């Protein structure tokens, strides 16, 4: 598991991960935890007068005997998780009852990745196939839900229950025609009404399975509900929604926005952050949303991006109070997107 060690700023190295928020003498947040150090961040910390940095000491090893790198091992495990979920859904579609043992095994497989945040996010960003969206989406939502629950410091038991809600939140879609689910154009009103029934279908599949926690089943039923009461299928307000529901709701929308689908292009994480800034405060629980966004933003430090100028740059810093406008390195110059509006990130680049 993770422990912390304090390292002199002069001995910090790129690639190390900050383990705690760093504040100035007035209590103002300077650098968020989970940021990966690079030359830019180390220089910024030094300029701010920080002498020692709390660094994550990761004692967890996936499989030291393997010839594969940790990233390759995570990627293989992730693909296996998707295939396992596909098998669960195909069995349901053919009329079989939900196989809880397979769901439980999938839950444990996902939980084992909890300490490999950066490798996990790298995997999620690189492996997105629109023709596999139905299957990858639920695994992704389970993974994002796990991270949110971890960042909220929930217990292991609660984290596994949240993971299970993420896995199962869309199982009812197997009762909806693929022609509707994969339709490239806008849905007809009656088609959209049918899609809105999928949380009810999902809940009906789970309600008689004793091993599934009631809070998990309720999160599956209500993950499309919203704080302002504008969601479905019950149109209840935030005071009626459980923490599990609020977590899965944020994870579900984030993955949908950042995924390629047959009827829409994916948008960048930074466009997604702006989308949450515009609509999120009315629709999502603020604590859950901000916990997720401020933590997930740091994972994109080091990511390659294509700018509106055609140049390829690298995210070197994400300001904690302005996460949709990072600092991008373009050659020898640094572009602060909060100050220079002539530049815009067009897409993430997978190298």
> pLDDT by residue (tens digit) across 96-150?
989 999 999 999 999 988 877 777 877 777 666 555 777 899 999 999 999 999 9
pLDDT digits (tens, 9 = 90+) for 276-302: 988 888 999 999 999 999 899 988 888
Contact between 53 and 90 under an 8 Å Cβ cutoff? The reply is no
Residue 65 scores a pLDDT above 60: no
Among 58-72, 212-226, 308-322, the range scoring the smallest mean pLDDT is 58-72
pLDDT at 57: 66
Structural domain containing residue 14: 2-58
Same domain, 51 and 82: no
What value does the mean pLDDT take over residues 48-75? 72
Domain count, the chain: 3
Confidence at residue 63, expressed as pLDDT on a 0 to 100 scale: 56
Q: Is the pLDDT of residue 160 over 60?
A: yes
Instruction: Say what the pLDDT of residue 129 is.
Output: 58
What was the pLDDT predicted at 87? Answer: 94
311 and 264 together in one domain: no
Residue 64 lies in a domain: no
| Token pair of 74 as six digits | 């995570």
pLDDT in tens, 336-349: 999 999 999 999 88
Q: Are residues 248 and 117 in the same domain?
A: yes
Secondary-structure percent of the chain, ordered helix, strand, coil, rounded to 5 = 50, 15, 35
User: Are both 114 and 236 inside the same structural domain?
Assistant: yes
Looking at residue 105, its pLDDT comes to: 94
253 within a domain of the structure (yes/no): yes
Asked if residue 113 is part of any domain, the answer here is: yes
Same domain, 98 and 198: yes
pLDDT band at residue 208 under the 50/70/90 scheme? confident
* Same-domain pairing of 43 and 99: no
Mean pLDDT of 15-20: 80
pLDDT average, residue stretch 52-70: 66
Domain shared by 219 and 240, yes or no = yes
Query: In 112-172, which ranges are continuous DSSP H helix?
Result: 117-126, 133-151, 156-168
Q: Is residue 65 part of a domain?
A: no
Categorize the per-residue pLDDT at 1 as very low, low, confident or very high, splitting at 50, 70 and 90: very low
Question: Is 244's pLDDT higher than 50?
Answer: yes
Whichever domain contains 141, its CATH number is 1.10.3210.10
261 and 131 within one domain? yes
Residue 233 sits in the same domain as residue 265? yes
Mean pLDDT of the chain: 88
Do 248 and 318 lie in a common domain? no
Two tokens, residue 222: 């209500």
Lowest mean pLDDT among 29-43, 152-166, 202-216, 231-245: 29-43
**Where among 260, 282, 297 does a domain terminate?**
297
Asked if residue 270 belongs to a domain, the reply is yes
pLDDT of 59 higher than 80? no
Same domain, 320 and 171: no
More confident residue, 21 or 121: 21
60 pLDDT more than 50: no
C-alpha distances (whole Å) from 150 to each of 44, 139, 295 are 28, 17, 11
Q: Residue 212, Cβ neighbours under 10 Å: how many?
A: 21
Identify the domain boundary among 11, 34, 58. 58
Is residue 199 domain-shared with residue 344, that is, in the same domain? no
The CATH number linked to 27 is: 3.90.105.10
């Amino acid at each position: 598991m993770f422990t912390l060690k304090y390292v002199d700023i002069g001995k910090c190295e790129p690639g190390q991960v900050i383990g705690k928020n760093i504040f100035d003498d007035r209590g103002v947040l300077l650098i968020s935890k989970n940021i990966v150090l690079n030359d830019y961040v180390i220089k910024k910390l030094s300029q701010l007068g920080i002498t020692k940095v709390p660094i994550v000491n990761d004692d967890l090893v996936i499989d030291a005997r393997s010839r594969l790198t940790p990233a390759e091992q995570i990627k293989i495990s992730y693909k296996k998780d998707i295939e396992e979920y596909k098998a669960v859904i195909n069995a349901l579609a053919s009329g079989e009852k939900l196989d809880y043992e397979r769901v439980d095994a999938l839950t444990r497989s996902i939980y084992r990745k909890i300490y490999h945040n950066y490798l996990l996010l790298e995997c999620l960003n690189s492996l997105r196939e629109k023709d596999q969206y139905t299957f990858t989406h639920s695994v992704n939502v389970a993974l994002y839900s796990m991270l949110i629950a971890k960042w909220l410091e929930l217990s292991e038991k609660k984290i596994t229950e949240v993971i299970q809600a993420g896995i199962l939140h869309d199982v009812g879609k197997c009762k909806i025609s693929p022609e509707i689910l994969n339709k490239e154009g806008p849905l007809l009103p009656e088609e959209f009404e049918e899609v809105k029934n999928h949380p009810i279908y999902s809940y009906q599949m789970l309600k008689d399975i004793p091993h599934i926690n009631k809070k998990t089943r309720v999160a599956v039923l209500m993950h499309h509900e919203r704080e302002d009461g504008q969601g479905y299928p019950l149109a209840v307000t935030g005071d009626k929604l459980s923490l599990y529901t609020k977590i899965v709701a944020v994870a579900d929308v984030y993955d949908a926005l950042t995924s390629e689908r047959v009827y829409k292009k994916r948008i960048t994480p930074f466009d997604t952050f702006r989308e949450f800034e515009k609509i999120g405060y009315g629709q999502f629980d603020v604590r859950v949303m901000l916990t997720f966004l401020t933590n997930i933003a740091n994972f994109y430090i080091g990511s390659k991006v294509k700018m509106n100028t055609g140049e390829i740059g690298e995210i070197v810093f994400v300001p904690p109070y302005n996460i949709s406008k990072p600092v991008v390195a373009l050659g020898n110059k640094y572009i602060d997107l909060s100050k220079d509006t002539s530049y815009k990130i067009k897409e993430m680049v997978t190298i």
